[in-house]
Structure 1
Amino acid sequence: MAAPAEPETHSEFHIPPRPDGWTVDEVLALSEDQASRHRVELVDGALLVSPAPTSVHQRLLQKLQLAFVPALPGGTELLPGVNVRFGTQRLLVPDLVILNCPGVDTVAYLASDVLLAAEIVSPSSKVQDRMLKRALYAEAFIPYYLLVEPLEPTVATLFALERDEYEPIAKSKDGELRLMRPFEATLRL
């Protein structure tokens, strides 16, 4: 009797290069086969490709969602992992967003639709989440940015846009983050 065959692995990620850079519309037109196992984002025509999140990341994301949803004010909606468009050359996929346009169906929300963008730091995204995305969200005038570090205990910091930079306004203590803005909530991480 023959041993069962090993399942094929598709670890190779192949998207044809674009010498003039990519546009948001071109990234959004990629087939599921090309992008299904990776998070594909776009910054100034260059693709940022990262692996799918780990189970630790996903469990933390679920905790955030469960904590946020009961506290959401009317006129808002929480969605995980959606495309957010920043013009024609930038497309990011925050771990979760709180939108100020509930019920809108689209493949990519506008940055102006986002009240809060949240990122959970992963080993493959440390610099992007701590610096690049923070700067891009501020440049797009997204009012709030939540950065979550999956440490023991988990550390979360909420930033509010003050003029053109994010300033920390709340930091977790012993795995719990209490928010007063943009609405009251207690997140047990």
Structure 2
Amino acid sequence: MPPKSFDVLSRRSDAWTASAALDLLPENSGPRVEVLRGCIVVTPVSGLDRRTAQRELGYPLKQAARKARLWLYQEVNVVSGDDLFIPDIAVLRVPGGGRAAMNVGQVVLLGEIVASGSRSVGVIDRPQEYADAGVPFFLRVDMRNRVPTIALFELVSGEYRPLVAAVAGTVFAMREPFEFAIDPAELLDEEGPSSDMTSANSAAGGKA
């Protein structure tokens, strides 16, 4: 078998499926490569705020999930029919060790961290796709204006309905599908771009 290569993206004319992507494309630690409705969707590496939120949320959320005998992974391949999702956060009913992908039927919760440039995907498109796939819970972390908010939704009659939400400076506390609490402010580094710029300007003014 020839080595897997992303060159196949320019050569393949057939509609893409999750199985084709897993068979033909190499694993990578860069941009996410997903399959939606027969098309390849490539998402660039996320910004630093988004990656920080993913890191700071991932560990405590994983510890809480394990207490409920659930398993949390970040950016895992999730197969739903011919679609291939790579959510920021996936909570599963079974451990995924040794597997390249998990079936959506094993998913309890999928989470997305929404930055300014991905608002339409994280707020509109992806929740609808997860609802259509039957994912019981959807978690959204919104990083707009560097004021993190967290919201949890439950699938009811094919649509996500809000269960709980909180903004930075308050406590986000969920009870389902497992107990977990955090202040969204903990998901962001202490100093933002505005404070960095102010410090730089002050230093420059002092030298003048």
Task: Tell me if TM exceeds 0.5.
Answer: yes
Structure with higher Rg: it is 2
Deviates further, 150-159 or 38-47: 150-159
After superposition, what is the alpha-carbon deviation per residue over 1:1-60, rounded to whole angstroms, capped at 9, x for unaligned?
A: xxxxxxxxxxxx86215333111122112124xx55311111111111110122211110
By how many angstroms is 1:179 displaced? 0.6
Which residue among 47, 59, 63 is the counterpart of 1:66?
59
Question: Which residue does the alignment assign to 1:8?
Answer: none
**1:106 is the counterpart of 2:110:** no
Hey, what's the Cα distance between the residues in 1 that align with 2:182 and 2:12? 42
Mind listing any 5+ residue stretches in structure 1 that lack a counterpart? 1-12
By how many angstroms is 1:129 displaced? 1.5
After superposition, what is the alpha-carbon deviation per residue over 1:130-174, rounded to whole angstroms, capped at 9, x for unaligned?
A: 112101111111110001111332011100011110000000133
**1:163 is the counterpart of 2:157:** yes
Richer in helix (by share):
2
Residue 85 of structure 1 aligns to a residue in which SS?
A: strand
**1:86 is the counterpart of 2:80:** yes
By how many angstroms is 1:125 displaced? 2.5
Question: Which residue does the alignment assign to 2:18?
Answer: 24
**1:177 is the counterpart of 2:172:** yes
Q: Is the 8 A contact 1:155 1:173 kept in 2?
A: yes
Q: Aligned-pair RMSD on alpha carbons? A: 1.9
Residue 161 of structure 2 aligns to a residue in which SS?
A: strand
Question: Which residue does the alignment assign to 1:47?
Answer: 40
Hey, what's the Cα distance between the residues in 2 that align with 1:185 and 1:77? 14
Give the percent of matched residue pairs that are identical in Structure 1 and Structure 2. 29
Question: Which residue does the alignment assign to 2:115?
Answer: 122
Q: TM-score, normalised by structure 1?
A: 0.84
CA distance change for structure 1 residues 124 and 41 in 2, over 3 Å: closer, same or farther? farther
Hey, what's the Cα distance between the residues in 2 that align with 1:50 and 1:181? 30
